[in-house]
């Protein structure tokens, strides 16, 4: 028997050494510290930031495209020789061309009208050699033309009777950026919720391990009492067998709680972006701090500032843009092209404009759809149905926000009562266990009955801790649902955004 007692105490020493030795190298995390780590390293936050970066750069590129565009194309050398047929004179001739040319262009989009104004200058040099047979002279006539050429023109292109594609694309990118910003803000809130949930999972697992260790210590005490009573011949040997079983069960519960804790820690570290191999322990003060919640105020803030509602508005606007494009199918539209230019050529560069030639060009064209077998009408109706669906989604989103806030409010009120009950139950279970432990020591209770009271105490401790954690989670959930922090009594979005979105 003394040897068994030595083994039991040795097992306890090993357990506490395992818990204490890693603690020296563990990083102690508070909830605020975990949120800071997740804000910088969480994969979900990083994905949201990358999406935000994509939207910002796309809008930046579109705004840059609205500025003047400068381009230069250069062909330093071009040589070609071929045999061509002159239709007018029904004769073949040989042509050999050597040239060098370049074009410089400045184009400026006109945002208000969706037109484009451009300034183009083409400069080059060519050596054009032709060889043609002339029957009247009964010989080949060679012609050589070496000259510098230059053409400067100012042109305007303007679409008519159609929507402004440039404005539409710009507005879509602006809405896409706003949507990305909303997604990022929502992801931060969701990240806070998820981190908090994972954090309390680890905290609860730590408490479960601590309670299992307390249960193990109590079981060891009862085992020692039983061992002494059996040795003294006061109790039957069967009592010792039951005590040994209870002891083994308590030891297994400690090991299971440790495995469960390690698993929750790994999930937590993965989500916040920590090194999986790093040792951590969480620390927080979970206690009951009653918070006064005004459900009407919560609903008002939720309906005025929830970012999902603005996203539904963006969906409606985007669908309306798609309707504009749909209506442009097979539409009556036109284009106006105006160009004023001057060109010249001469063997000498300085005399290139001695005899300039004006080169005006004006064209007006129209697209006149005749019959499309009802395609356009059907597509418009289909897109209108999409818009109505988006509007319905917005209405239902408002209802869902109201329902969610009311549900969370009821849950908070119920949890306040549950916490009081759980606290009293834990206190009663503790007193009951202490009384029955004394009865067991006096021989008025079996070890099996005492084990039932021990299990009851452990369950009540966990129930109380779980009620406190659920209360904390629901308060956070209410903050996310209403975008109002009732613990600090302040809104968590800028007041100007609330006023902007207030119906």
Considering the domain architecture, whether residues 207 and 253 belong to the same structural domain is answered as: yes
First to last CA, the chain: 78
pLDDT at 500: 44
Mean pLDDT across 364-390 = 91
Residues 279 and 292 reside in one and the same domain: no
Confidence of residue 387 (pLDDT cuts 50, 70, 90): very high
Residues 47, 50, 51: CA angle, nearest 5 degrees: 90
pLDDT at position 237 is: 79
pLDDT of residue 134: 64
Residue-range definition of the domain harbouring residue 86 = 68-110+115-162+335-368
Asked whether residue 186 falls in the same domain as residue 157, the answer is: no
Helix (H) or strand (E) holding 191: helix 165-231
Distance CA 327, CA 383 (A): 10
What is the model's pLDDT at position 496? 43
Which of the given ranges, 166-175, 303-312, 456-465, has the highest pLDDT on average? 166-175
User: Percent of the chain, pLDDT > 90?
Assistant: 51
Instruction: Please check the confidence at residue 1 and state whether its pLDDT lies above 50.
Output: no
Q: What pLDDT score does 137 carry?
A: 62
How far apart are the C-alpha atoms of 488 and 492, rounded to whole Å?
10
Q: At what angle do helices 43-65 and 31-41 cross, to 10 degrees?
A: 40
Q: Average pLDDT for residues 105-134, to the nearest whole number?
A: 90
Final residue of a structural domain among 350, 368, 386: 368
When comparing pLDDT for 52 and 4, which is higher? Answer: 52
Which of 245, 246, 223 lies closest to 235, judged by CA? 223
Who wins on pLDDT, 480 or 500?
480
- Give 82's pLDDT tier (boundaries 50, 70, 90): confident
Res 502: pLDDT: 40
The string of DSSP codes covering 152-175 is EEEEEEEEESS--HHHHHHHHHHH
Are 134 and 255 members of one domain? Answer: no
Provide the whole-model pTM: 0.76
Residues 6 or more apart whose CB falls under 8 angstroms from that of 458 comprise: 211, 212, 214, 215
Residue 464's domain is classified under what CATH number? 1.20.1600.10
pLDDT value of residue 25: 61
Higher pLDDT, 236 or 173: 173
Q: Residues 400, 444: one domain?
A: yes
User: Which residues in 228-382 belong to E strands, given as ranges?
Assistant: 280-282, 333-346, 357-358, 361-367
Residue 136: predicted pLDDT: 64
Query: 114: alpha, beta or left, given left = phi > 0 and alpha = psi -120 to 50?
Result: left
Q: Which residues of 79-111 are buried (b: 16+ CB within 10 A; e: fewer)?
A: eeeeeeeeeeeeeebeeeeeeebeeebeeebee
Both structure tokens of 454: 């021990």
* Total domains in the fold of the chain: 3
Long-range contacts at 166-174 (CB < 8 A, ≥ 24 apart): 166/66, 166/109, 166/111, 166/114, 167/111, 167/114, 168/321, 168/324, 168/325, 169/62, 170/59, 170/62, 170/63, 170/66, 170/111, 171/317, 171/321, 172/318, 172/321, 173/55, 173/58, 173/59, 173/62, 174/59
Verify that 244 and 179 share a domain, yes or no: yes
Q: Which of 484, 501, 502 is nearest to 493 (CA)?
A: 484
**CB-based contacts of 230, cutoff 8 Å, min separation 6:** 236, 237, 239, 240
As a whole number, mean pLDDT of residues 188-202 equals 91
Do 235 and 347 belong together in one domain?
A: no
pLDDT of residue 498: 40
Q: What is the mean pLDDT of residues 134-163?
A: 84
pLDDT of residue 214: 85
Q: How confident is the model at residue 140 (pLDDT cuts 50, 70, 90)?
A: low
pLDDT of residue 133: 65
Give strand ranges (E) for 270-370: 280-282, 333-346, 357-358, 361-367
Mapped onto helix, strand or coil, the DSSP state of residue 283 is coil
Q: Is the pLDDT of residue 427 over 90?
A: yes
CB atoms within 10 A of CB 439: 14
Compute the distance between CA of residue 113 and CA of residue 166 in angstroms, rounded to an integer: 9
- What average pLDDT is seen over the chain? 86
Q: What is the pLDDT of residue 440?
A: 77
Domain endpoint, select from 284, 303, 318: 284
Whole-angstrom distance, CA of residue 299 vs CA of residue 305: 10
Last residue of a domain, one of 245, 261, 284: 284
pLDDT at 465: 87
DSSP 8-state assignment for residue 130:
E
Question: Looking at residue 252, what is its pLDDT?
Answer: 92
Q: Judge if 172 and 294 occupy the same domain.
A: no
Are residue 428 and residue 454 in the same domain, yes or no? yes
The angle that helices 447-482 and 165-231 make with each other, rounded to 10 degrees, is 170
In a shared domain, residues 60 and 186: yes
Q: Which residues contact 59 (CB under 8 A, 6 or more apart)?
A: 170, 173, 174, 176, 177
The predicted-structure confidence for 302-324, as pLDDT tens digits, reads as follows: 998 889 999 999 999 999 999 99
Q: What pLDDT, in 10s, does the model give residues 21-63?
A: 444 467 899 989 999 999 888 888 899 999 999 999 999 999 9
pLDDT tens string 255-303: 999 999 999 999 999 999 899 999 999 888 777 778 899 999 999 999 9
pLDDT tens readout for residues 215-245: 888 888 888 888 887 887 777 778 788 888 8
Residue with tokens 């007692």: 5
For 221-228, which contacts have Cβ atoms below 8 Å and span 24 or more sequence positions?
A: 221/437, 222/246, 222/437, 222/440, 222/447, 222/450, 222/451, 222/454, 223/8, 223/247, 224/5, 225/440, 225/441, 226/447, 227/1, 227/4, 227/5
Q: Other C-beta atoms within 10 Å of 365: how many?
A: 10
pLDDT score of 239: 79
Residues 352 and 266 placed together within one structural domain of the fold: no
Indicate the helix (H) or strand (E) that contains 76: strand 69-86
Verify that 126 and 92 share a domain, yes or no. Answer: yes
Between residues 186 and 17, the one the model is more confident about:
186
């Amino acid at each position: 028997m003394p040897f068994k007692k030595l083994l039991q105490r040795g097992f306890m020493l090993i357990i506490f050494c395992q818990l204490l030795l890693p603690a020296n190298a563990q990083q102690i995390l508070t909830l605020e510290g975990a949120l800071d780590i997740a804000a910088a390293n969480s994969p979900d936050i990083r994905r949201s930031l990358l999406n935000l970066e994509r939207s910002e750069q796309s809008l930046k590129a579109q705004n840059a495209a609205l500025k003047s565009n400068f381009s230069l194309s250069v062909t330093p050398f071009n040589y070609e020789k071929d045999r061509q047929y002159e239709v007018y004179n029904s004769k073949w001739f040989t042509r050999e061309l050597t040239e060098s040319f370049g074009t410089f262009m400045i184009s400026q989009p006109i945002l208000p009208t969706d037109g484009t104004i451009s300034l183009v200058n083409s400069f080059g040099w060519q050596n054009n050699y032709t060889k043609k047979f002339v029957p009247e002279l009964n010989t080949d006539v060679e012609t050589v033309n070496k000259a510098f050429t230059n053409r400067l023109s100012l042109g305007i292109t303007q679409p008519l009777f159609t929507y402004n594609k440039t404005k539409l694309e710009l507005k879509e990118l602006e809405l896409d950026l706003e949507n990305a910003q909303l997604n990022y803000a929502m992801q931060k809130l969701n990240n806070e919720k998820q981190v908090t949930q994972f954090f309390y999972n680890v905290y609860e697992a730590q408490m479960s391990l601590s309670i299992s260790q307390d249960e193990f210590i109590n079981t060891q005490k009862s085992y020692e009492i039983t061992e002494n009573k059996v040795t003294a011949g006061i109790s039957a040997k069967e009592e010792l067998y039951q005590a040994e079983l209870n002891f083994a069960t308590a030891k297994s519960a400690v090991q299971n709680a440790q495995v469960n804790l390690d698993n929750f820690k790994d999930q937590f570290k993965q989500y916040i972006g920590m090194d999986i191999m790093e040792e951590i322990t969480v620390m927080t003060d979970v206690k009951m701090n009653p918070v006064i919640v005004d459900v009407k105020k919560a609903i008002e803030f939720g309906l005025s500032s929830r970012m999902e509602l603005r996203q539904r508005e963006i969906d409606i606007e985007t669908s309306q843009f798609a309707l504009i494009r749909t209506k442009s199918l097979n539409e009556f539209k036109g284009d106006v092209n105006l160009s004023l230019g001057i060109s010249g050529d001469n063997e000498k560069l300085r005399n290139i404009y001695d005899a300039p030639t004006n080169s005006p060009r004006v064209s007006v064209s129209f697209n006149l759809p005749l019959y499309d077998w009802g395609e356009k009408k059907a597509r418009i109706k289909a897109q209108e149905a999409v818009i109505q669906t988006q509007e319905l989604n917005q209405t239902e989103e408002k209802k869902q926000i109201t329902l969610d806030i009311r549900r969370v409010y009821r849950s908070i009120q119920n949890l306040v009562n549950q916490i009081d009950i759980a606290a009293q139950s834990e206190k009663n279970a503790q007193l009951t266990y202490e009384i029955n432990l004394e009865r067991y020591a006096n021989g008025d209770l079996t070890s099996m009955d005492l084990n039932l009271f021990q299990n009851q105490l452990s369950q009540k401790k966990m129930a109380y801790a779980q009620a406190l954690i659920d209360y904390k989670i629901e308060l956070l959930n209410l903050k996310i649902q209403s975008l109002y922090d009732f613990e600090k009594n302040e809104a968590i979005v800028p007041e100007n955004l609330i006023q902007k979105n207030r119906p």
